[in-house]
Amino acid sequence: PYVIVCNHQASLDLMGMVEVIPDRCVPLAKKELKYMGTVGWACWLSGIIFIDRRRREDAINVISQTARTMRRENVR
């Protein structure tokens, strides 16, 4: 398992990153993208994991749970 960290500057950059990331890789995105109309629907349907950056502990829990799942199932 591995993690790719990208610092995108705009919400639409995420759509471009989907083209270059390896197969079976699931990106994390800020929760606000979920509510951006068509972009939000596309992100949600593609399986992106949303992080609530305003609630630090919730974000840490989501990331920790994702890391545990990656290790347990040996997925990327």
**What are the pLDDT digits (tens) for 24-42?**
677 778 888 888 888 888 8
Question: CA 22 to CA 62: how far, in whole Å?
Answer: 22
- Contact (CB, 8 A) for 71 and 1: yes
- pLDDT for 5 equals 66
CA distance 44 to 34: 7
Q: What share of the chain is helix, strand, coil (3-state, %, to 5)?
A: 50, 10, 40
9 half-sphere exposure, CB direction, 13 A CA radius: 0
pLDDT digits (tens, 9 = 90+) for 10-20: 766 666 776 77
